[in-house]
Amino acid sequence: MAWGGGMNITNAMLDEYSDERIEVDDRPVLIDPGIYKGHMMNWEKSFNPMFRKYSLVMNFKIRDEVIPGWFNIEPSDSKTTVKAGWKSNFLRMYQGCLDIRLDRRDRISLAPFNNKPLMLEVVSIERDADHKEMAQVNHYSRVKKILKVIDED
């Protein structure tokens, strides 16, 4: 008889609830550094407690891989726009690849990247947060910069 007078729980019953079936492969991807054509899949704002900074994380589809890009931004309450400093890499990249001069830095829309082919600069990350060389097996790729929105007109 089982504890408390209930039924016996078997391994077969526990296997029904195994996490192995729903595990998502979020392992970082490594591709050769270079210039690639891709498109933005999604984006989100997040706070990185390790660096105590707000980041914009943009996920890009390049061939069959998902490669992230992350950029420092400033905190804002908007769910549809981001805020960045005038001298930030993100704002300079944004103005450069879209060839526009923004009037404001607190309402930057990512809509110009939606459903558009993009030219992306991909780099390899070979050092950890302490600037120490990582083993080759731990290297991964990230999008450093959006170089251009490709016009299909």
Digit-coded pLDDT (tens) for 122-136: 999 999 989 999 999
Which among 19, 11, 119, 133 is positioned nearest to 60, based on CA atoms?
119
Q: Which residue has the tokens 């030219």?
A: 119
Read off the pLDDT of each residue in 28-45 and give the average, rounded to a whole number: 96
CA distances from 78 to 19, 44, 106, 116 (A): 35, 11, 9, 23
pTM confidence score: 0.80
Longest dimension (CA), the chain: 75
- For residue 117, pLDDT over 60 is answered with yes
Q: Which amino acid, one-letter code, is at 38?
A: G
